A and B are shown apart, each in its own frame.
Chain A
């Protein structure tokens, strides 16, 4: 390279000017210098001279001229590619300057699909003009891909496009590099016909209309519907270019057509039948701008108004009818007929095998992912069946009727103080936040990891995880999910002062970085096999918007700020000690759930909650107390579902305190524990006598239910044997017994009764154990190696379902037992970095064996949670992991 011609980057920057760039763009678009000149309103020689001067300044040819046309050289094309964004930034600067100088002016150019003109563009422009008088407006009609090209070239500011949720549309699937799309609204595609076909709840399978002539063309969505129904263009099909033409043809009895909900308002002839599709087909409308154009006030205002405007929908039988029926169902349940109905319902539930039920459902499921999902569930349901010691089968309810559900009321046994899981992280907080927030990944019924906000991820090495975000993910306010938002949310979750409840989960994260437009890279300090699951809402990933967080100064989850997430429901109101309400949004990337709104009521008094359920005011009740479970089971309107909830209950000893520093004393305690009696009599069979700290469900990745339990019984056990206990005590440093105290949390009365039972047994061997029930806060404070209690009850709800989660806490560094076994610490760290799940479990089993020999923890039981569900509702995929993903999407109305 000649040193003479070499121009430094700085000089290059000074040589650039926006006018020259605009000329390059015009040449690129028009294909010749003369056409570009015409488009810009200059003469051809002026443009030619300008380009020549520009080329001299930069020292490189930009335009390759031929006889008739002009093409950009690679250098010219590169500049032309950058031009629109530079232009947009300058326009933003100029507009702000104009405002500063008091010369308010602005212009907005919108390109939209012709379908959107009447119902979306026109009404918004009216409001925009009212809000910003003097604004220059340009509107162009353009198809989706053309409109996107116009935005990229800087020929328009806003492109309004429509996409289909599960349809690979080439125009929108193309990488939206440098573009920002804002979700405006979603709507259903409806079938229009005059033919008298049978429908269920006003919905029809599109293939049932396949024999009729279909009317295709612009202004209809018939081609998409045809693709979904696997129907090709048949003889007799027609093609038109306008919505009203298609409707007019159908009104004359000619075939069927498919049109978006909002395009129908006001143009329907009375003889037309408007039917919903089953499964429903949804179209979403979005506004796309250049990222740089966000700062242009007029553009920002236009996008905001577009997002606020929701075109009116037609009154369709599909949703209206089901709503009325749903109300009727409710009314019947609250009156006298209910007992007989409920009995019938019970019969169908118990005679049906869960696997059969799920297969039936899968036939109605459109997406591949969901089908896989359901296959997995059938297996887990079987796992749970065998896991239940009592004869309570998984009562997931009857078959799905496909009806819409207006509202469900969920009754919680206590209030949440704050909705943000980082601030308050009880198990119920996880359940409630999972309604509205999502993680990068989700966890399926078997505890396996599935896509969430990240559609794919890879692990280039042991400590690096690279996540690719979905393109169609939006926050509930319509703004798109960016890599910045994800990085920010995870940074907040790592900060222990902001998120004390979940910071520990991300303690091994070294760095979270944005490495691409839609790419986030997480680096760990050391390999961690359990890390992948922590990016779900069962772990520490509760993705929220950075703008939202900063607007509320980090005080999120309060009654004023609520929560903003990407899930299918948006929080609309939160009153501590009273209720939280959620509304369904149409910005969610998944399929629209049946439930429209959710009210979560906090009912602290258990008798009141039971009474409310009896009166029919409750649809779902979480964590029904086991002592009251029989009363709940006897209700006519509710059924109770017992699911292993990944919780562990066990005794732990503080090995640094007298007399528990003596292994013989601990042994005496271990022999005095009668697990089977506790599970049988105190828990009424709703739990399982535990042989290890890890739960059988946490082995689900490798072993099925029976194999997992068999694995876990290999660990040496201390059998219930009071003579052996006496002998152990006689060998200890306290042969005559002693007196000690144990605390139990008031929120878990079953722990208190279990401790009483243990105290009875201990009395026989001469140890006095005082059981004191205390508020949960006091109990939590006692779970520390520095506390003065030598024996304690551990009650741990795992949300990750990882086999090493609980033992890592109970035996790892800083454990509450002050137990220091270098061999165990080494095994735990090996298990942490072992990537093969089976090998990892073997290592953890060794840990369990070692700790069992030292009697540091005495496992009591693996818990079950009782969830009461209204008999006219069912939950798909009911599993141990069900409530830490978007569980309301799994609720359906049964056809009883």
Chain B
């Protein structure tokens, strides 16, 4: 430990990226540990009783209740239960889902792909539409496109996900039967086809935020002195805009990465509306069931995803902004 401490500043000076990675990983691990404890205790306090849920609305003898509590170690003190779980996780065993009677890894693994594809598709759609639209709105602020885009983003932000989903279903599955109504399809392109409407549903809210961010950031940049100076020197409008967009990119990237982490919550609603077997519904059902092992695994997974996204955004700054790079080197 002491050697590591002694070597820190040196590492920080010579390899700023490695230093950043290392501090991030250590920080993330600490956050994960605290988070797992918090989730574990909160879930324990939450209403509901897993034994009652398993037994259902039926008479139960005290012996039956005891046998079930015994089987799932529910009589152990809370710290012992937590350590039991933690011990498993550290040895690579995420535990067993009481609700599904399958290993947690299998339950999560089986749904991860679908949720990742859904989030990826929604994020890509949002970026592809919102960024160019935001740029155009900023350049011609107050124009027709700008006003339309503003209206669209207000709708996107304020319309609830399930309502958007239902409207899309009515339009594109019933009146104009282009897309399937529900389900995840049979894999491959069929699944992609099934994911189009849910992805649009999610992308709408996401795109609205990115559009707003892009527009605001770019307008600010376009109003700044260096743009006036560049224009005064007769530099072409296209080149001016490119420079401005590059400077506006940092807030856009920050905003987009933040928004991406919110997607995880949004998937619950989209998955319910479109009957998709994804992580959102798994998380919801597991929380209600108090299926602690699954909840813990999912919470940690989401936390890790957020940490990775934040890290990628930071790396993105390094690539986008030469000043950040230089600062890192001279420190």
Contact = CB atoms under 8 A, between A and B. Distances in A.
A777 B53 contact: yes
Nearest to A500: B54
B288 A775 contact: yes
Q: In the complex, which of the residues B49, B63, B101, B165 has the most CB atoms of chain A within 10 Å of its own CB atom? A: B101
Interface string B49-86: 10111111111111110011011000000000000000
Interface stretch (B168-176, B202-210, B221-229, B236-244): B168-176
Contact of B277 (A575, A605, A614, A774): A575
A500 B110 contact: no
Contacts of A153: none
Contact of A780 (B49, B67, B165, B285): B49
A575 B111 CA distance: 10
Given A608-B181, A615-B177, A784-B52, A504 B59 contact: yes
| Interface magnitude class on chain B | 35 or more
Given A426-B56, A777-B53, A808-B59, A578 B184 contact: yes
Contacts of A504: 55, 58-61, 64
A783 interface: yes
Contacts of B174: 611, 614-615
A559 B285 CA distance: 17
Interface in A591-646: 601-605, 607-609, 611-612, 614-615, 617
A579 interface: yes
Nearest to A577: B277
A322 interface: no
A778 interface: yes
A417 B57 contact: no
Contacts of A418: 99-101
| Interface magnitude class on chain A | 35 or more
Nearest to B60: A504
Contacts of B276: 577-578
Interface string A423-465: 1111000000000000000000000000000000000000000
A323 interface: no
Interface string A480-506: 000000000000000011001101100
Given A601-B275, A809-B59, A558 B290 contact: no
B234 interface: no
Name the prevailing secondary structure of the B interface residues: helix
Contact of A612 (B62, B99, B111, B182): B182
Contacts of B110: 559, 575
Nearest to B286: A417
Interface string A574-593: 01111100000000000000
A617 B289 CA distance: 31
B160 to A, nearest CB: 13
A557 interface: yes
Contacts of B282: 577
Contacts of A164: none
A795 interface: yes
Contacts of B59: 504, 808-809, 812, 814-815
Contacts of A420: 101
Nearest to A775: B288
A507 interface: yes
Given A558-B101, A611-B174, A780-B57, A415 B273 contact: no
Contacts of B261: none
Contacts of B162: 605
Contacts of B177: 615
A346 interface: no
11 contacts: A423-B54, A426-B56, A497-B68, A497-B71, A576-B100, A578-B277, A607-B166, A607-B169, A777-B289, A780-B53, A784-B52
Interface of B: 47-49, 51-64, 67-68, 70-71, 99-102, 106-107, 110-111, 162, 165-166, 169-170, 173-174, 177, 180-184, 271-278, 281-282, 285, 288-290
Listed from nearest, the 3 A-B pairs whose CB atoms lie closest are: A577-B277, A578-B277, A496-B64
Given A497-B71, A608-B181, 16 more contacts: A417-B100, A496-B63, A501-B54, A507-B61, A577-B111, A577-B282, A577-B285, A578-B183, A579-B183, A605-B166, A607-B273, A612-B181, A617-B180, A780-B52, A781-B53, A809-B59
